[in-house]
Amino acid sequence: MGFAPDLKTFYLTCSTRRRIYQYNHHRETGKLDFPALVSQASKKEGIPDGLTVDRQGHIWSARWDSSAVVHHDLFGKVLGKIILPVAKVTSLCFGGPDLDEFYTTSAGGTAGSNTLEGAILKIPAPHPGPPEFESRIRL
């Protein structure tokens, strides 16, 4: 889940359908309405999992079984991707003093293995993130 910088749009991933949706967000009430499809991933593109939104309003989607974080514009168009050394990228958030780093989580791996599967990775974020917003959501 993530919010656009103006807090008027809320984004939600549905991994089982391989989709990212957007909703109108009413900050005063926490109400969400008018869901719209932003992105439909193919099997080749991996399963959208966690997401975050940068200061420009662009969506960054962690991809299970794709070794990637996919960069979308606010309309869902794919602008690029960051390839990671793990297959199952599960989520990501902005961090660091200037919110210009990604912290990504991954799944898999076993204790004592020499892979990064299951690790938390810190990578440079191409665009900084906004401060986190604590919300109250109502459907």
Enumerate the active-site residues.
Answer: 49
Q: Token match 């439909």: residue?
A: 40
Q: What count of other Cβ atoms lies within 10 Å of the Cβ of residue 40?
A: 12
Half-sphere exposure of 64 (CA within 13 A, CB side): 15
Closest residue by Cα to residue 32 from 23, 41, 40: 23
Can you tell me the distance from the alpha carbon of 15 to that of 48, in angstroms, rounded to the nearest whole number? Answer: 5
